[in-house]
């Protein structure tokens, strides 16, 4: 004998999924606003005949997850209590830093970079550390090298 199990659709689950998707959409909209040109270029500053426009680098990263589930065991009626679950989560980070200033004057337009001294020092320390490590490695005698004598 073949038993047929009828599973009634859960009316709550689509509403829960829609609420989760709405949350993801609103969070995604907030992150995408960081990619707006207004986040990269600041308000122009007028100083006499010169216009100064600050610019920045904007980096963002994010991740989301959404899940749902239900369980109806064989032999249960469709109107009985069923196991179900809906969950979701997400997170992200937006980072910005100044990179340049655009200066427009009667003499012309020029771009002045903003130097990040911390990055320069870290790059120099990394380079010198790598060079010191390589010199130390090269000055060690190679024990794997076998000389053949006749």
pLDDT at 70: 72
Distance CA 57, CA 47 (A): 24
pLDDT at 126: 96
pTM: 0.49
Q: What is the mean pLDDT of each run of 10 residues along the chain (150 residues)?
A: 44 59 76 74 92 89 76 60 70 83 94 88 95 90 64
pLDDT at 72: 63
How is the chain split into domains, by residue range? 12-72+81-114
- Residue 74, classed as helix, strand or coil, is coil
pLDDT at 102: 94
| CA nearest to 84, candidates 108, 73, 68 | 68
Query: Is-contact 70 2, C-beta < 8 A?
Result: no
pLDDT at 145: 60
Could you say which DSSP state residue 108 is in?
Answer: E
pLDDT at 5: 40
The number of residues making up the chain comes to 150
pLDDT at 76: 53
Distance CA 45, CA 38 (A): 14
């Amino acid at each position: 004998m073949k038993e047929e199990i009828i599973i009634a659709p859960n009316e709550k689950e689509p509403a829960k999924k829609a609420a989760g998707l709405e949350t993801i959409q609103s969070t995604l909209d907030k992150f995408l606003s960081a990619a707006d040109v207004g986040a990269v270029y600041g308000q122009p500053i007028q100083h006499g005949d010169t216009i100064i426009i600050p610019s920045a680098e904007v980096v963002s990263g994010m991740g989301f997850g959404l899940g749902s589930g239900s369980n109806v065991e064989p032999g249960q009626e469709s109107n009985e209590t069923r196991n179900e679950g809906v969950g979701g989560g997400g997170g992200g980070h937006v980072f910005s830093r100044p990179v340049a200033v655009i200066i427009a004057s009667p003499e012309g337009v020029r771009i002045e970079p903003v130097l990040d001294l911390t990055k320069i020092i870290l790059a120099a320390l990394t380079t010198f550390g790598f060079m010191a490590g390589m010199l130390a490695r090269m000055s060690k005698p190679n024990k794997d090298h076998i000389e053949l004598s006749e």
